[in-house]
Structures are given as C-alpha cells and as structure tokens.
C-alpha cells in the first residue's frame, strides 16, 4: 500500500526519477522491519521474509538504472546510487546480525548469512563499476576521450576495492577475502596492460610494465610477511599453557 500510494503521488507530480529512487528505500525499510520483528519474536520465517522483501528492493533499485538522468549529476552523489547502496548495506546488516546472534538464529541461517556476505561484496563491486562506467561514458562528449577516462577510472575502482578487501581480510583474518583481493589486483594489472595502455606509446608501456612488476613483487612480499605473522600468532594463541617444561 505504501509503495502504490507513494508511486502514484510522485508520478502524478512528474517525479519519475525520484519515484525510482524512493521506492527501493521503502522496501529496504520493510526488510529492516521484518528482520527486527523476526529477531524480537524469535521467528525464522519473518527473518526469511525480510530477505524476500530485500530482493524486491534490489530489483527496484536495478530498474532505477534503466532511466537516463541529466548530464550534470555527480558521481556517487545521486539518488539511484544511494538507493542501490542502501539495499547492499541492508544485505550486509542482515548477514552481520544473523552471524552475531548465534543463540537465536539456526545453523542454516548462519550458512545463508555467510553466502549473503559474498553476494553483497560482489554486488557492491558491480554497483561501483556500473556507476563509474555510466558517469564517464555519458558525461564526456568526445567518444575517444570518454573511453580512455572510463577505463582508467574503472581501473582505479578495481585497485581501491582490492585494497579495501585486502585490509578487511587481514583485519577479520579471512583468507578467502585476501585471496580474492590478490586475484582482483591481478585482473587490474592485466586490464591496465591489455586495455588501458593499448594505444600508449611503446616506451611508456615498457616503463609501466616495469613499475607494475615492482609493485606486484612488493605487494606479494608484504602479503606473505603479514600472513606469516597471522599464522604464527594463531598458533601461539592455540598453544596450551604450561606446554613448555623447565629443566629440573
């Protein structure tokens, strides 16, 4: 009812773009309400209903990207990006809450929450790519310049996202996140070499390859050093007290 009433009012006042941004937020609020009620009443069906409502919010936010907006909008500072980001953040919040409240949520919900984490990470990466691509490809008039700037911006997004995942992987001691970050770093390097520098002069490509190789070697060295410290710390923490005996 709230969705229908809001949509009818906004469309009647010619707020078509605003309608596509506001409606997903209503469903995100609904997903949060179902999750809260499911936790309060200790009912798994309500929590599952929250995921179904969140799926509708995701579909509505994706539909918002089918509408072109004016050229003067700001990158990452617009309604459709905010609405889609709210959906993804709600997915993170749902998974985090389920994982934290192990005494309330079942083992199957714990597994589903872990999968939801992975889906949310992929969706956030896709959102950043789509937003970046549409912004630079639509707002720059010169096609050749738009192509070069768009691919460069995407490479920056890939690199920053990989670095963020790597930091979180070390912080949360999640090896799969660290490996995913390394894979994304490798994909970024290949993209820089094959796509971004396809039309750059030979001497600049050679210099870029050399710098890129040095950076990858340094990153690999630092990665293995930090991971070795984590493994050593974990082994020390698991070692029982009094395992070392003093000589008589």
pLDDT digits (tens, 9 = 90+) for 194-222: 887 776 655 656 666 676 677 677 777 77
Predicted TM-score of the model (pTM):
0.84
CA dihedral of residues 139, 141, 143, 149 (deg, nearest 10):
-50
Q: Identify which has the larger pLDDT, 1 or 217.
A: 1
Q: Quick one: pLDDT at residue 125? A: 97
pLDDT digits (tens, 9 = 90+) for 17-66: 899 999 999 999 999 999 999 999 999 999 999 999 999 999 999 998 88
**Mean pLDDT score of the chain, rounded to an integer?**
85
DSSP string, 89-108: HHHHHHHHHHHH-TTTS-HH
pLDDT digits (tens, 9 = 90+) for 142-152: 888 888 888 88
Q: Quick one: pLDDT at residue 138? A: 84
Q: Which long-range contacts (CB under 8 A, 24 or more apart) does 113-117 make?
A: 116/51, 116/91, 117/92
pLDDT surpasses 70 at 9: yes
Distance of alpha carbon 137 from alpha carbon 144, whole angstroms: 10
Distance of alpha carbon 76 from alpha carbon 92, whole angstroms: 19
Q: Quick one: pLDDT at residue 212? A: 67
Nearest C-alpha neighbor of 135 from the set 86, 187, 58, 77? 77
């Amino acid at each position: 009812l709230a969705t229908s009433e809001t949509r009818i009012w906004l469309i009647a006042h010619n707020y078509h773009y605003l309608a596509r941004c506001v409606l997903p937020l209503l469903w995100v609020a609904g997903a949060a309400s179902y999750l809260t009620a499911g936790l309060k009443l200790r009912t798994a069906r309500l929590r599952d209903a929250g995921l179904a409502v969140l799926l509708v919010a995701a579909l509505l936010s994706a539909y918002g990207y089918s509408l072109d907006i004016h050229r003067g909008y700001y990158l990452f500072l617009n309604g459709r990006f905010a609405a889609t980001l709210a959906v993804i953040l709600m997915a993170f919040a749902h998974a985090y809450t389920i994982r934290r409240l192990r005494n309330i949520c079942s083992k199957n919900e714990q597994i589903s929450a872990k999968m939801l984490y992975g889906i949310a990470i992929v969706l956030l990466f896709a959102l950043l790519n789509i937003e970046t691509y549409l912004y630079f490809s639509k707002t720059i008039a010169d096609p050749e310049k738009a192509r070069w700037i768009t691919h460069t911006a995407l490479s920056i997004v890939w690199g920053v996202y990989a670095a963020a995942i790597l930091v979180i992987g070390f912080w949360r001691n999640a090896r799969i996140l660290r490996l995913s970050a390394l894979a994304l770093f490798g994909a970024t390097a290949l993209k820089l070499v094959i796509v971004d520098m396809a039309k750059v002069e030979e001497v600049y490509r050679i210099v870029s390859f050399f710098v890129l190789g040095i950076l990858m070697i340094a990153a690999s060295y630092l990665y293995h050093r930090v991971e070795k410290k984590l493994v050593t710390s974990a082994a020390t923490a698991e070692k029982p007290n009094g395992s070392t005996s003093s000589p008589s």
